[in-house]
Structures are given as structure tokens and as C-alpha cells.
A and B are shown apart, each in its own frame.
Chain A
């Protein structure tokens, strides 16, 4: 089951540049929440702060409070590696491990964290590939084919399966379909819709139609601030803020 996310007063910097300003946001468990906004508005930075990926960039840092379920992400005893283990992430460009087989890719998070039970691992790999709607296409070549030999859309579903295999509670997706063609994109969107039964999903997207299709809640970011956050329907039909309206009607961005 997924868990909710509570963000309070989150600030993020790149060097001296403040790129997220006092974000407050509550994400409901087992729902899909979309984050939209023009390029450079901080939406990727925002999701990367949720699993402490932001700080892997030199001179980048974040402050504030993020609670994911019971876990205090920026608490004093919190270990970023442990945080990332419980929050899955899918990136903009499909990034399978190039020298590993399909099976190896999905099992990587388990294996490299010391998981040794072979039978259980087989089951988890199969379950994750089925959840990611890739099982039927790859089940005969699990060990024979490299993850990099798949098509772009398949690679992205492989990356989703890889993230699901470690059984996270939350799945963060940073523009997961922006490098894919329309058919692969619709497969991924269908998948996101299925995933919310088991996970809380936060998805960053450039594509407003995509947000409207997959998400129940949408947050609009502009220049590092969260301008408006509401039910997707409300955001796209009767936004409260003029800037949101300008953006979704295509007046800028």
C-alpha cells in the first residue's frame, strides 16, 4: 500500500541559487499527483527532493520537512540511501544498466542491497515485470537479452519494473514519457493508472493533457513556487490563480 506525503517549508538550492521556495504540499496515498509547469520552474527539483536525489548534484542542498508515511526524510537520523530504497524513481530518459540482462536490471536493486533468496527474487522479478506490463514481451529472453537491446518504450517499462522490484511505497516519475512515441506513452499512462492501486505516484510532466489523463491532483509550479494545487479537474477548468489559467491556456510556457 502506498503512503501519503507531507511537504512543509521545503527550500532547495543549486549553489547560491534558490530554486524551490517554501513549498507546502500534501500528497494523498494511492493517488496519482501530477506536477506541471514551464521548463525551469523547479518541478523536477521538487520530486528529486522527495527522495533526496537532489543532493547528489554537487553544491545542491535542500531544507525543510518532508514526511513520507511515518518516515521523516530530512530528519536528523535519516539515511538518504534508506530513503531512496523506500521511494522508487523513474527518470526522464530510460536508463537501464547497459551490461545487465533484463532479469539483472530488474533484480539489481535487490541483489546489490544484499537480497539473496533466489526463488523469491524470481517471483519479485516476474511480479514487477507484470506490473510494468512488460512480462509478456520479454519472458522468453529474461537472461539472454541485455536491457539496452529493448526499444525505448520497453526500456522505460523495464526501468519502472526495476523501481517496483524493491517494493517502494511511493513512485516518483520525472517526465517518464517525454522521450517516447505516442503508443509507448499511452502504455505508460495506462500503467500509471494501474499502479495507484499499490503505490502513491507523483509524476512530473510537460504535457498538460497527460496530467489531465492520469492524475487526480495537479500542482502548478512557477519560478520555484507552488502557485496552485487542487483536483486536476479544478485546475484545468476553473483555476483560482490567473497565472495557472495563463499557463494552461497556453499564454506562456
Chain B
């Protein structure tokens, strides 16, 4: 190697340094594997237990009365979609909006208060959020509804999205904002079309994390969306949800329902993975790759 700098002789590197270097590498690899193991184990177990019960009937029928074989979770799949749509309509704009406020305007006491509140809200048990949605929406309306379930999940999404949006916007270098101001672009335009766009990859990741987290939630739906054995597409009616259905079937005494619960859980995970992947693919398309 004529052009390379002279490397120190192997003996020059102390034994301790080599040992600690390799030790750290081994530890990092082991940690990565340990993280993957439970994830893969759960997924494989779900596939083994659930895949046998997934068929066209499961995907297109509503549940049969207890004791009768067959039936499916079609209404639960649609219900979950309905509730998540409401949750996203509430959670995405409020979360991203408050994140923008925190990053671009919130360097003050009021901003600190919001930041603190968001962090606390992130730690509130989901069932408590469910109670809040129950008393805010269900009680005044006097009945359970898909809308109230969406409100509960939407509230849960807000702190995650807000903090992720804030962090990502703060990572946008100030020289990028200055470039926009220098062109005579107003601040609001700069924030939306320059800063947010520069941070978009990270903001989308934050949104997907929040979405995936609430998509499988059961507790906040127990006394909001409530569940339903039949089709419902109305926002103000009690609605089935996959997670609720899985919960109900799993604690039932019927063997057939247990199998369907496994299948429901598998479908739920596949739907979440599918949704996240779809967003990733559509948003990465057309994005320019370039070294920073």
C-alpha cells in the first residue's frame, strides 16, 4: 500500500483497547438481535396461530352469534379504518400545528408549558384518555360512537406528533430559513414550504409512529367506540374495531373465537404494516436524493 499512511504495528494497540473495541461491537450486535427477537417471535407466532383462520369469509362477514361456527371481522376491519381516519383528521393537523408553533414561535414560557403538557400527556395511560373522551363526547351525546373512539385515539396521537415535528424542525439549519427570508418569502410561507418540507421525512416518521401506536389500542375504545356485532358506517353509532373484537374473542370461552382472535390480531398487524409501508413508498417517491 504505497499511498496509505503508515499504520502502527499491531503491538502498539494496547490489549485493553482491542478488547474494549470488540466488546462494544459484540454488545451492540447482541442488543440489536435482542430487540428483533421479540418482534419476530410475536409475528411468527401470530402467523402460525392466525393464518389458518383467515379466509374470504373472515374478511367479508360480520361475526356470528356465540356458538355458531364461521363469521368474520369485516365490520371490525372497516370500523378500525373509520376510527383511525377520525383520529388522523384530529391528530395530524393538531400535532403538526403545535409542533410548528413549538419550534418556530415557542421559545418562551408558554411554549415550555405546552412542551411539558405534551410530555405528560404522552405518559397518561390510554384508558384514562378513553375516560376523557367518554366524558367529553359520549356523555353529552348519550351514546357510544366511532367519532368518540377517533377523538380518544386522536388525542393520543397529538403529543408524539407535536414533539417529533418540533425536534425535526429544530434540526433544519437556520441558514435555510435565512435563504428564504432573503428571497422575500414571508415567515409563514417559509415555515410551511421550506422548513416543514426540509423536515418532512422526520415529521412523517413521527406521524407514522403515532399512527401505528394508536392503531392497536384497545383500552381507549372500550367505552367510546364500544364495539358492534353488525355493520356500521355512521360516525355517531357504536362501531366495531379489530382490537376490541380480538379482546372480546380472546376472553370468550369458545375455541372457534380464540382462533378468530388470532386471525384478527394478525390482520391488524398486517394492516398497520401495510399502511406505514404505503405512506413510506408514496412519500419517498419523487423525493430527491442528494448528499448534504
Query: Which residue in chain A gives the minimum CB-CB distance to B173?
Result: A95
Docked-complex contact B288 and A99, CB < 8 angstroms: yes
**Most A-side CB within 10 Å, residue of B180, B182, B197, B289:** B182
Docked-complex contact A109 and B198, CB < 8 angstroms: no
Cβ proximity bits A39-76 to B, threshold 8 Å, 1 near / 0 not = 00000000000010100101000000000000000000
Instruction: Please report which residues of chain B, range 175-211, place their CB below 8 angstroms from some CB of chain A when the two chains form the complex.
Output: 175-176, 178-186, 189-190, 193-194, 197-198, 200
Whether, in the assembled complex, B292 has its beta carbon less than 8 Å from a beta carbon of chain A, the answer is yes
Whether, in the assembled complex, B291 has its beta carbon less than 8 Å from a beta carbon of chain A, the answer is yes
Docked-complex contact A98 and B185, CB < 8 angstroms: no
Docked-complex contact A95 and B179, CB < 8 angstroms: yes
Docked-complex contact A95 and B175, CB < 8 angstroms: yes
CB distance from A159 to the nearest CB of B (A): 7
Docked-complex contact B184 and A113, CB < 8 angstroms: yes
CB distance from B252 to the nearest CB of A (A): 51
Whether, in the assembled complex, A243 has its beta carbon less than 8 Å from a beta carbon of chain B, the answer is no
Whether, in the assembled complex, A31 has its beta carbon less than 8 Å from a beta carbon of chain B, the answer is no
Contact segment of A84-92, A194-202, A216-224: A84-92
Whether, in the assembled complex, B290 has its beta carbon less than 8 Å from a beta carbon of chain A, the answer is yes
Whether, in the assembled complex, B35 has its beta carbon less than 8 Å from a beta carbon of chain A, the answer is no
Whether, in the assembled complex, B287 has its beta carbon less than 8 Å from a beta carbon of chain A, the answer is yes
Contacts A97-B194, A99-B197: A91 and B290 contacting too (C-beta < 8 A)?
no
The 9 sampled A-B contact pairs (Cβ below 8 Å) are A82-B184, A85-B184, A97-B180, A97-B194, A108-B180, A108-B183, A112-B183, A112-B193, A149-B288
Q: A51 to B189: give the CA distance in the assembly, Å.
A: 19
Interface residues on B, range: 20 to 34
Chain B interface residues toward A at CB < 8 A: 107, 173, 175-176, 178-186, 189-190, 193-194, 197-198, 200, 287-292
Contacts A97-B194, A98-B198, A99-B198: A89 and B290 contacting too (C-beta < 8 A)?
no
Whether, in the assembled complex, A226 has its beta carbon less than 8 Å from a beta carbon of chain B, the answer is no
Whether, in the assembled complex, A166 has its beta carbon less than 8 Å from a beta carbon of chain B, the answer is yes
Q: A170 to B155: give the CA distance in the assembly, Å.
A: 50
Docked-complex contact A81 and B290, CB < 8 angstroms: no
**Most A-side CB within 10 Å, residue of B178, B197, B198:** B178
Contacts of A85 in B (CB 8 A): 183-184
Docked-complex contact B175 and A84, CB < 8 angstroms: no
Docked-complex contact B178 and A148, CB < 8 angstroms: no
**Most A-side CB within 10 Å, residue of B175, B189, B288:** B288
From B175, B182, B198, contact of A93 by CB (8 A) = B175
Query: Which residue in chain B gives the minimum CB-CB distance to A52?
Result: B181
Q: How many A-B residue pairs have CB under 8 A?
A: 89
Docked-complex contact B291 and A95, CB < 8 angstroms: no
Docked-complex contact A88 and B182, CB < 8 angstroms: yes
Contacts of B200 in A (CB 8 A): 99
Chain A interface residues toward B at CB < 8 A: 51, 53, 56, 58, 81-86, 88-89, 91, 93, 95-101, 108-109, 112-113, 144-149, 159, 162-163, 166
Using A56-B178, A112-B189 as known contacts, list a sample of 8 further A-B pairs with CB atoms less than 8 Å apart, ordered by residue number in A.
Answer: A84-B182, A98-B176, A98-B292, A99-B200, A100-B197, A108-B183, A146-B290, A149-B289
CB distance from A81 to the nearest CB of B (A): 5
Docked-complex contact B197 and A109, CB < 8 angstroms: no
Contacts of B181 in A (CB 8 A): 53, 56, 84
CB distance from A133 to the nearest CB of B (A): 20
Docked-complex contact A148 and B180, CB < 8 angstroms: no
Q: A108 to B197: give the CA distance in the assembly, Å.
A: 12
3 tightest A-B CB contacts, nearest first: A85-B184, A146-B290, A149-B290
CB distance from A143 to the nearest CB of B (A): 9
Q: A99 to B201: give the CA distance in the assembly, Å.
A: 10
Query: Which residue in chain B gives the minimum CB-CB distance to A104?
Result: B288
Q: A132 to B189: give the CA distance in the assembly, Å.
A: 26
Contacts of A159 in B (CB 8 A): 179
Contacts of A146 in B (CB 8 A): 288-290
Query: Which residue in chain B gives the minimum CB-CB distance to A86?
Result: B184
Contacts A93-B175, A112-B189, A112-B193: A162 and B288 contacting too (C-beta < 8 A)?
no
Contacts A97-B194, A98-B198, A99-B200: A112 and B180 contacting too (C-beta < 8 A)?
yes
Q: A51 to B182: give the CA distance in the assembly, Å.
A: 8
Query: Which residue in chain A gives the minimum CB-CB distance to B195?
Result: A97
Docked-complex contact B182 and A91, CB < 8 angstroms: yes
Q: A119 to B26: give the CA distance in the assembly, Å.
A: 59
